[in-house]
Structure 1
Amino acid sequence: MENLGDDLVSAFTSVTQLPDNAEGRRLAGALRAYHPALRTNAATGAPTDRPAVVSAQPVADPEQTPHDGDEDDAWVQPGDEEEPKGTVFPALNILKDCMQRSTYHPIPVIRKEERGAEPWTIFREVMDGEPRWVHPDITTEKTKPGKRDRLVVPEQFGTGQLCVIDRNGSYPSACSAVPLAPNKLQHTGPLEEVGKDRAGAFLITVPAWNHPEMPHPLGRLAERTDDQGHVWVTTPHVRQLQKLIKAGHITEELIVPDSWTGKANESLFKPFYAKAREARAELVQAGGEPYTEYKRRLSIALRLLWPKGEKVNSPFWRPDWRMALVAEASVRHWSVAHRAVQAGHTLVALRNVDEAVFFTPDGQAPDTYKVGTGFGEVKVKTEPAAPGSER
């Protein structure tokens, strides 16, 4: 990427949109990083020929809707690692302090010369396991560009409304007990059993999921296997599969042909979670710019766990920590929805790490959710269901 030719840069300026996937984001980031004169439209991802400082936002995904910004997907930029003096929530400094005070002697930065080999090349953004799922009996209708497709509920679902549930602070909430390996990952190969003392990356055989009323517990990861049906996952998804196997929801054994692991710890980010929770309780009531800045600093700190591009001088480089954190948020999101379905509620869509849509008689949230403003609690919005053609 360091020697991108003028022809490629010229071709890039004619592109109107790049795909919102790992490859598209890496290409856009590389072109912008090595050719600062190249700029993209922050709203559409369309390149322009006006020299400017890039505001590197991912291309808008029509399958996603805006939320309150707790799970902001904006890429971090050079300079974001410098927190302004007097900021309402110095999230990055708090996160660094967690590392310095930890008795587990964590290694927050993997040396650059080691990053081009396993296990670090294993990690991908799709390891988050986000569901991005719509019930197989639900159809969708296109709406305005940039808006979600409209969910069309068939007649057999009966009379009811759509209950849209938005989880607060899914990522910082996951910091309360995300299983991580504070030190380097060692090659531990095939495992007959994954104990709770191990954390890291696991190559697994994706088990069958025979429950069409819920997405696969691995989310989109379940569709990204190799020719042998294997996929790399992080510890939160392994533990989730173990629980589902024990409960009888999955009938296959967990098969782990390969692994890179270290001694597990669930409290490395807990002090960060506690301070973020305390600050949110104060700032969410005030709202306005202080709350907006709080969310921004929180998002930047957690994204700096795995900064993209050489020009971001982050105090961290741990893709395993970052992807385990996002996977933990996805697992919690999936698990609460699963408990609601087990209790008889109808899930019609499960999106990203923070939004679920149920079809309920009165538009109220299932009892498995707690409505409120705190981490892990939810906001609820009621929408009329789009009737099917047979209604």
Structure 2
Amino acid sequence: ALDMNAAYLSALKCWLPIGQLIETTDGVHNPKKAGVHLITPPDWEHADLPNPLGNRMEPGELWVTESTLRLLLDCARQGLSDAPTIHRSLVSGGTEVLLEKLRRALAEVRKTALAEGDELTVNYVKSMYSKLVSTLGESTANRNMRRPDWMHIIRAKAFANLWMKANKIHKAGLQVVEISGTDELHVIGDWRQVFAEGRDLNQVKEKQTYTLGGKR
């Protein structure tokens, strides 16, 4: 079981809408816009690679965020599935760098704190970006910024980043067992040939090892 470092911090680099969401029904994804989309997802026929939508039981249409739609479109470009059918979109002009200065500042402070063994600052930085994401929606803890669409897009981006790591493991010939939450990936095989081990944002760390069929 591998643990992804600072999943929400990395997910701050995602496409976010910067204005009021306006409905479109042309069924075309505009890469310069962002929002939420009503889609019919494609069939997923890969037993050895988890569905980007998770273990969804109910068929048919569903609303997804910008991060999830872009992940599905990327899967289509890789030939893993057909493209999703877009029925409606609520979007505005978007940008991938809205929170980039914040992300870089927190990442730099975190990196320095890790190098100095300053766990207090590492945990403080984690609290900062975690609280930001969790209070972007309707929250009494944050009355100055209410963008539930941003909150869901960022959370979905964290899962998309995790799924792309699972796909990288799969391409390397290792077996993907499970994707859990937004920061945990279970694999069989020598994962160190794919990822560097450590606590930096571009590294992963081992959470635990266990035997399938036994107790974790």
Instruction: Answer yes or no: same fold by TM over 0.5.
Output: yes
Shift of 1:373: 1.4
Shift of 1:184: 0.9
Distance 1:195 1:350, change over 3 A: same
- Cα distance in 1 for partners of 2:137, 2:202 equals 23
> Is the Cα contact below 8 Å between 1:365 and 1:380 reproduced in 2?
no
The corresponding residue for 1:267 is 97
The corresponding residue for 1:211 is 46
5 Å-filtered alignment, 1:337-356, equals 337-356=166-185
- Cα distance in 2 for partners of 1:287, 1:224 equals 46
TM-score when scaled to structure 1?
0.51
5 Å-filtered alignment, 1:163-182, equals 164-175=1-12, 177-182=13-18
SS in 2 for 1:219: coil
| 1:299 to 2:130 alignment | yes
> Is the Cα contact below 8 Å between 1:173 and 1:376 reproduced in 2?
no
The corresponding residue for 1:375 is 201
Shift of 1:381: 4.2
Shift of 1:321: 0.7
> Is the Cα contact below 8 Å between 1:345 and 1:366 reproduced in 2?
no
SS in 1 for 2:42: coil
Shift of 1:245: 1.1
Distance 1:314 1:368, change over 3 A: farther
- Cα distance in 2 for partners of 1:313, 1:325 equals 17
5 Å-filtered alignment, 1:286-325, equals 286-308=117-139, 311-325=140-154
The corresponding residue for 1:223 is 57
5 Å-filtered alignment, 1:58-97, equals none
> Is the Cα contact below 8 Å between 2:136 and 2:142 reproduced in 1?
no
SS in 1 for 2:123: helix
- Cα distance in 1 for partners of 2:112, 2:104 equals 13
> Is the Cα contact below 8 Å between 2:72 and 2:83 reproduced in 1?
no
The corresponding residue for 1:185 is 21
- Cα distance in 1 for partners of 2:196, 2:58 equals 33
Identity of aligned residues (%): 25
Distance 1:297 1:254, change over 3 A: closer
5 Å-filtered alignment, 1:44-59, equals none
Count residues with an aligned counterpart: 213
Paired letter, 1:372 = G
> Is the Cα contact below 8 Å between 2:10 and 2:201 reproduced in 1?
yes
Higher relative contact order (CA 8 A, sep 6+): 2
The corresponding residue for 1:246 is 77
SS in 1 for 2:35: strand
Shift of 1:370: 2.8
Paired letter, 2:170 = V
- Cα distance in 2 for partners of 1:368, 1:216 equals 21
Shift of 1:386: 4.3
Gaps in structure 2 of 5+ consecutive residues:
none
TM-score when scaled to structure 2?
0.90
